[in-house]
Amino acid sequence: MSSTTTSNNQAFGHLGYRKDIDGLRALAVLLVVIYHAFPGWAHGGFIGVDIFFVISGYLITSIILDGLRDGSFSLVDFYAKRIIRIFPALILVMLISIGFGWLILYPAELQLLGKHILSAVGFFSNFTYFSESGYFDSRGVEKPLLHLWSLAIEEQFYLLWPVLLWVVYKLRAPFLAAILLLILGSFAWNIHLVHLNKSAAFYLPLGRFWELLFGALLALALLTPQSHSRVTAGKSLWIQVYGWFGTSSVCKQIYSILGLALLVVGVIVIYPRSLFPGWFALLPVVGASLMIYAGENAWINRYLLSNRLLVGIGLISYPLYLWHWVLLSFAQIWGPIFIEQRLMLVGASFVFAWLTYRLLEKPLRNRQSIRKKAGVLLLLMGSIFFIGLCLSLNGYPQRNVNLLPQFENTAYDGGDQGQIEEGCGLSDSSLKNYFYGCFQDKRESAKFALVGDSKAMALFPGLVRSSSPGSRWLTIYGPGGDKAIPPYLSNSRSDVKPVDAPYTDRAIDQIAKNPNIKDVALVFSSKGVMTTDIDSLYKGVHQAQAINGLLAITAKLVESQKRVVLVVDNPSLALPQDCFHRKVGLAWFDAFQRIDNRCEMALEKHQNMTAKYIEALKAVKQQYPHQVTIFDTTPILCDAQGGVCSYQKSGRKMYSYTDHISDFAAGEVGLALNRQLIDRSK
């Protein structure tokens, strides 16, 4: 998201300065900052990155074409100027991130930060984050360098595009045909990929380059007719196409208004859950392109984008982009932050961005000793690489944050104590690597089986730890994703599409065929069972289908002489990381106690919210009163006497991530469930 600063374009070529482009850059960065700091205010604000891509493609291509036109273009100088533009602020922000990380991150987190620093230095962050989790996952806010994925895509484009343009120029091939062909190929790949793998479409460069190439097309369009004859080897086709779009003042006013309208629509209709980029990305890309094409004399460009405030923000947009996410991310790693803290952090981001621009970036942007300055910056970046490598190999556990008593540590109670191994009593050996999770107690053959989604995955270690001889466990589970195990068999629910559930089918079939298994505990998210919000207008329909799905599973197990336990799902509270602050050894921070109000819920409210879900479980038991029991986790996870369900109990952390119980809570549930099953077997 670097975008060459237009106020310094004369230092890089013959491209004239346009204040409105700085204003458009300000609009882009403000959308991103608002989206990150106040997600509810602009759910589509992340399209600001796409606006930046268009601006970057336009400015870089204009600079290259100017250099090719007058014979001054040099690849070495081009990359040296890119280094001078990008490295100073990036080096500073990464150094500060290392300092924050040393103060606040646990060893494993510090090692992950080191890995991300290596990715940032090598400008392949987008590939790293693609290999981890999605941009919109709940833990993404706790990756301080996550936002560098977009900078990586820009740098990958900058690495390839100048060389390709130079080759096209030397071959006297038509620039228009080359750019259009690349746009169509990249856009088609984006459309294909967004349906195949949304994260891949979001992070990987080939499906994103078309956005920068739109800017390249603009650069070609806005060359003077005289320049066209020199740069495009006398091709008249582009000049004809250029005329089709109209260059009159009225047309440009329309382009500007339409461009702004597309950006506004994009912010309104695009959500994190949307198939993005895909077709949706045309809104910010075409919108930004139209506003740039309209020119600085269009009314919106002149009076809105060119006002002093937006231009000033545009000038500091790159360091602002770097700073704001780092500050917000480390603050959220520390603990929950609220509107006052978010406003303070955004304000601090503006201050740090301005200081970075005035004291670091601007003094370096001149024609003096370009290659020497680039060389020094490369050495500094090499030092950052070495620090990142050290951190990735060693989390330095003797730091203060790891020695202080942390509430986080109360969540762990021993796990499975090393007593599990791969295998889950499969009769079909071809399914050995089929399921996401297939484990068993290695001490002796299992008598009980656990089947379910990610809730089963969270519970299993506690069941193993609290089990006794002759009453061991095996499990087959599949959290959300390609290998999910939903709470129904294929074609047992008409309200679910796709209706097939192959992993559930095979899991239940394998458990049914296992003669050693006497009891099967089914653990599914209540949201998965009901498939929709319990307060939905159609909750009666969904409840009936939920019963059908659970009955199909239960019937197959009962037919195989298995007894079934329906385990009641845990309460859904605020994210666990919003319910406490980690100690860092600084008095003011360690004394801060405010948490999210949703970290606790009245027991009565929880019961009312889950009433329809509980009714569905009871309906299944009613069909098989002797073979099915319901195990209610609520008395264990909530304080019945106090009438509250909380993120903690007796000073121990009850949840590990999102709405999954902690290892400590899994042991408490496991102890009670094991006792009930043993009593039932007598």
pLDDT tens-digit profile of 170-181? 888 888 889 999
SS3 state at 522: strand
The domain boundary residue, chosen from 356, 375, 402: 402
Domain assignment present for 1: no
Q: How far apart are CA 616 and CA 524, in angstroms?
A: 13
SS3 state at 660: strand
Q: How far apart are CA 298 and CA 67, in angstroms?
A: 28
- The string of DSSP letters for 44-69 reads TGGGHHHHHHHHHHHHHHHHHHHHHH
Q: Between 456 and 366, where is the model more confident?
A: 456
- Asked if residue 389 and residue 247 are part of one domain, the reply reads yes
- Asked if residue 179 and residue 66 are part of one domain, the reply reads yes
Residue 547's domain is classified under what CATH number? 3.40.50.1110
Orientation of helix 75-104 relative to helix 339-356, angle to 10°: 140
The domain boundary residue, chosen from 343, 376, 402: 402
- Asked if residue 459 and residue 397 are part of one domain, the reply reads no
The DSSP letter of residue 625 is T
Domain assignment present for 599: no
Domain assignment present for 278: yes
pLDDT in tens, 538-582: 456 778 899 999 999 999 999 999 999 999 999 999 989 899 999
The predicted pLDDT at position 136 comes to 45
Q: How far apart are CA 615 and CA 613, in angstroms?
A: 5
Does residue 57 register a pLDDT over 60?
yes
- Asked if residue 51 and residue 128 are part of one domain, the reply reads yes
User: What are the residues whose beta carbons fall under 8 Å from the beta carbon of 375, sequence distance 6 or more?
Assistant: none
- Asked if residue 38 and residue 19 are part of one domain, the reply reads yes
The 10 Å CB-count burial string (b at 16+, else e) for 152-172 is bbbbbbbeebbeebbebbeee
- Asked if residue 69 and residue 210 are part of one domain, the reply reads yes
Tell me the residue ranges of DSSP E strands in 517-649.
Answer: 519-523, 563-567, 600-602, 628-631, 638-639, 644-646, 648-649
Tell me which residue has tokens 């809730």: 455
Q: Of 332, 106, 124, nearest to 115 (Cα)?
A: 124
pLDDT in tens, 456-499: 999 999 999 999 999 999 999 999 888 999 999 999 998 887 67
Does residue 357 register a pLDDT over 50?
yes
The predicted pLDDT at position 306 comes to 97
Look up the domain containing 444 and give its range: 409-572+604-638+659-681
- Asked if residue 444 and residue 364 are part of one domain, the reply reads no
Which H or E run includes 448?
strand 448-452
Domain assignment present for 595: no
- The first and second tokens of residue 327, run together, are 């500050």
Does residue 225 register a pLDDT over 80?
no
The predicted pLDDT at position 538 comes to 46
Q: Contact 401/334 with Cβ under 8 angstroms?
A: no
643-647: average pLDDT: 96
Q: Of 62, 66, 9, 22, nearest to 216 (Cα)?
A: 62
529-544: average pLDDT: 62
- Asked if residue 632 and residue 553 are part of one domain, the reply reads yes
What are the percentages of helix, strand and coil residues in the chain, rounded to 5?
60, 5, 30
Does residue 246 register a pLDDT over 70?
no
pLDDT in tens, 3-34: 554 443 333 334 678 999 999 999 999 999 99
The predicted pLDDT at position 233 comes to 45
Identity at 600, one-letter amino acid code: E
Cis before 88? omega within 30 = no
316-334: average pLDDT: 97
The 10 Å CB-count burial string (b at 16+, else e) for 78-99 is bebbbbbbbbbbbbbbbebbbe
127-133: average pLDDT: 89
Does residue 536 register a pLDDT over 80?
no
The domain boundary residue, chosen from 371, 386, 402: 402
Which H or E run includes 103?
helix 75-104
Tell me the chain's radius of gyration from C-alpha atoms.
Answer: 29
- The first and second tokens of residue 110, run together, are 């510090």
Q: How far apart are CA 651 and CA 329, in angstroms?
A: 27
What pTM did the predictor assign? 0.86
- Asked if residue 360 and residue 397 are part of one domain, the reply reads yes
Q: Contact 86/378 with Cβ under 8 angstroms?
A: no
User: What are the residues whose beta carbons fall under 8 Å from the beta carbon of 186, sequence distance 6 or more?
Assistant: 206, 207, 208, 209, 210, 213
Please, which residues bridge with residue 520 across strands?
Answer: 449, 564
Which contacts (CB < 8 Å, 24+ apart) does range 379-382 have?
380/87, 380/91, 381/87, 381/91, 381/121
Q: Contact 296/20 with Cβ under 8 angstroms?
A: yes
- The string of DSSP letters for 225-293 reads HHHHHHHTTT--HHHHHHHHT--SHHHHHHHHHHHHHHHHHHHHH--TTS-TTGGGGHHHHHHHHHHHH
Does residue 236 register a pLDDT over 70?
no
SS3 state at 102: helix
State the pLDDT confidence band at 245, using cuts at 50, 70 and 90. Answer: low
What rounded mean pLDDT belongs to the chain?
Answer: 91
Over pLDDT 70: what percentage of the chain?
91
- Asked if residue 513 and residue 414 are part of one domain, the reply reads yes
Domain assignment present for 291: yes
Domain assignment present for 565: yes
- Asked if residue 431 and residue 369 are part of one domain, the reply reads no
- Count of domains forming the chain: 2
Domain assignment present for 100: yes
Domain assignment present for 582: no
- Asked if residue 289 and residue 141 are part of one domain, the reply reads yes
Does residue 227 register a pLDDT over 70?
no
259-284: average pLDDT: 96
The overall longest dimension of the chain from CA atoms, in Å, is 94
520-546: average pLDDT: 75
